[in-house]
Structure 1
């Protein structure tokens, strides 16, 4: 397999988890993300740099190509600028498909991708005379929680195949096990409790260990794993007072008026998940790149006791907790600064979602 726009390796981690896929090339332009990938899967096949600079002659044959071209132009949180150069990087993906001639390929992107002009162009490329002629495409929105990830993250998944139509995988988990719409056996959604219960409520430090590792001839902070990235923060007294008013599933609307900043006081609707607290027995909402800032989403630790303020954990989730909600294994290695590692975690494909796709593809390969 080849992983393009590989990031820190979330998608590769899911495919490798099945025990049936061997990565032979990966491409990533961000140094710290490429280093994290290399720390976990090897430096020899990771190409750190601009994908456009890789010559056709360097692209190996592969059974499968996976990857998620940068999605900021499509994201609801991005510019939605159709001229954003990041939106054209899917064309590089097609170049790799044409050269490597995989039996199947998988594209992962934000949910909005299916309604973009770039996606419409992609669909045209499988028509006669197109760059992907001979491939059959299937596409859908896939909710990570429906595939065993303790997170309600909705993504667009495109599966291309030249060995016959490969349908989108059936869900393996469900919120309600009695749903009439589910015609096969499924398990219950995994929850925040499944992912982070038992980790120290009070992180021992706010800083990464002082260590370095070398990849691609560059010195990089790392490598870190597990409790190394179970990092606390230093919230202000005002922030602590705000956190203390928010129950599980709540958010900014639970704050008394005197604790509201003007931007929230004057905005009576929308942004309902900011300053939110997770619930132990539900999946989290989407883990984004700034999960350590409660003002950005539902990122407060789920522990909250209505009757006993002493039994509340008033802090945002840690890097380690965020990685577990993204379904990374506890011994996964991370490289970079706190900000860089947070960005890698938030941008990653949930490992369990990638694994579900990988297992499904095996039936057809």
Structure 2
């Protein structure tokens, strides 16, 4: 049995890819406002069912019926990195999501967002729709899932809401744990599992010269995943800073005379910046600016305390970031380096999406 899926706020398609990998789901509609993310989605899943544009401008009549609706309304208004402003217009996008649910009439829907979403006024309003409102036919389950607990080589937490009108559906049980000691689980997937074997020194700092037409507009691409193994050209000062940071370390390992003044004057907080990953653990959260070491723990994990020649003093490449987000090797990409980085960082980890899809299938099968 194959189930139809609508993906809203689809981004580059991380959630759709996870559902596709589950083997029982077929996308019938995707909506994404960002051109380059929509182009990446179309390159992987087809342009025919992809709408590039404002979700609020999609007419009710263009919404097909579907078995499942998935998606993550923009989360910047809830994120710790944002203002968490209740009036932020991005925090109203869940209402558009509900409009699609109302017209598509899925048996199940899934909302994905940052953990803070569950403590927001908007979430309270969403829950209120369960009691005689737009979601009166649905039973809601919500919680926070840790991507690493589902085989993703990344420590990333996401709020998940499952709405069902075929009986209450719990959240999926973890399949992995830190050391595999929890009964029925495997050890976490590590950075080594994800990126071992890729060239330590990228051959180029630029994407290939390429363009394609999608939605009647020309965009950079289509790029293979291997095209994304691109480096940067750090300054001598940056390289010297990187060289002092061991696996699991960060800016506090850099000598004071090498630190920028803003860090010298701030001896506390932001512990993970200028950080180096560890081979034997999942990465920390891959954000949209993973190519900037000052933004998080994004230095390559290779570092030999006794042999400076056996150190890789660079940030991870776009390909390495994509692998840490669990994208498959044959995934295609469109956009500039910055635009693709944004797509990677904003995506739902593919393995987490697949775990949710695998979990939903038995409930759909016996409806």
TM-score range, shorter chain: over 0.9
Residue deviations 1:56-95, cap 9 Å, x none? Answer: 1110000000000000000000121111101000000000
Q: Does 1:168 align with 2:171?
A: yes
**Partner Cα separation in structure 1 for residue 103 and residue 267 of structure 2:** 53
Q: Does 1:131 align with 2:134?
A: yes
**Partner Cα separation in structure 2 for residue 15 and residue 329 of structure 1:** 13
**Partner Cα separation in structure 2 for residue 333 and residue 229 of structure 1:** 10
Aligned to 1:326: 325
What is the Cα deviation at residue 263 of structure 1? 1.1
Residue deviations 1:101-147, cap 9 Å, x none? Answer: 0000000000111111111111100012x111110000110000000
The answer to whether the 8 Å contact 2:224/2:332 transfers is: yes
Aligned pairs, number: 360
What is the Cα deviation at residue 267 of structure 1? 1.1
Aligned to 2:340: 341
| Partner SS, residue 363 of structure 2 | coil
The answer to whether the 8 Å contact 2:179/2:186 transfers is: no
Aligned to 1:272: 271
| Partner SS, residue 72 of structure 1 | coil
Equivalent in 32, 37, 41 of residue 36 of structure 2: 32
What is the Cα deviation at residue 225 of structure 1? 1.4
Q: TM-score, normalised by structure 1?
A: 0.98
**Structure 2, unaligned stretches of length 5 or more?**
none
Residue deviations 1:296-319, cap 9 Å, x none? Answer: 000000000000110000000000
Equivalent in 117, 138, 141 of residue 113 of structure 1: 117
| Partner SS, residue 284 of structure 1 | coil
- The 5 Å alignment of 1:42-121 reads 42-121=46-125
Residue deviations 1:254-293, cap 9 Å, x none? Answer: 0111011111111111101000000001000000000000
What is the Cα deviation at residue 320 of structure 1? 0.3
**Partner Cα separation in structure 2 for residue 18 and residue 96 of structure 1:** 23
Aligned to 2:219: 220
Cα-Cα RMSD: 0.6
**Partner Cα separation in structure 1 for residue 233 and residue 179 of structure 2:** 39
Q: Does 1:304 align with 2:303?
A: yes
**Partner Cα separation in structure 2 for residue 126 and residue 269 of structure 1:** 44
**Partner Cα separation in structure 1 for residue 199 and residue 225 of structure 2:** 12
**Structure 1, unaligned stretches of length 5 or more?**
none
Q: Does 1:261 align with 2:260?
A: yes
| Partner SS, residue 157 of structure 1 | strand
Residue deviations 1:211-268, cap 9 Å, x none? Answer: 1111000111001112211010010011000000000000001011101111111111
Residue deviations 1:299-347, cap 9 Å, x none? Answer: 0000000001100000000000000000000110000000000000000
The answer to whether the 8 Å contact 2:180/2:188 transfers is: no
| Partner SS, residue 23 of structure 1 | strand
Q: TM-score, normalised by structure 2?
A: 0.97
What is the Cα deviation at residue 176 of structure 1? 2.8
**Regions of 4+ moved over 4 Å:** none
